[in-house]
Amino acid sequence: MADIEATLLDIIKEHAVGLTAPLTRETPVADLGIDSFSIVEIIYEVEEKLSIEVPFNANENPFGEMTSVGDLVDALKKLAKAE
């Protein structure tokens, strides 16, 4: 399996809008400028590139309590271990 963190960062970079600083684990999710359509695209790419099924409900906040990119990476790693 590809490196989860590096792959996720690459995917997010493709969809982030207006990001002025380098993307790191500390980057706040709010600074990514990602809309709901981009979230669906990111989930699709994660599932395709990393073979990790990401549960998604369009009626809920997909980020939940996650405030940083590191939180997203950690959640994805947790999903990968659960499979």
With tokens 């790693």, the residue in question is: 77
Task: Look up the pTM and report it.
Answer: 0.83
Q: pLDDT per position in the chain (83 positions), as tens?
A: 459 999 999 999 999 997 888 999 999 988 999 888 888 899 999 999 999 988 877 666 666 788 899 999 999 998 888 76
User: Who's near 55: CB < 8 A, 6+ residues apart?
Assistant: none
CATH superfamily entry for domain 4-82: ACP-like (1.10.1200.10)
Domain map of the chain by residue range?
A: 4-82
Which residues, 6+ apart, have CB-to-CB distance to 71 below 8 Å? 29, 63, 65
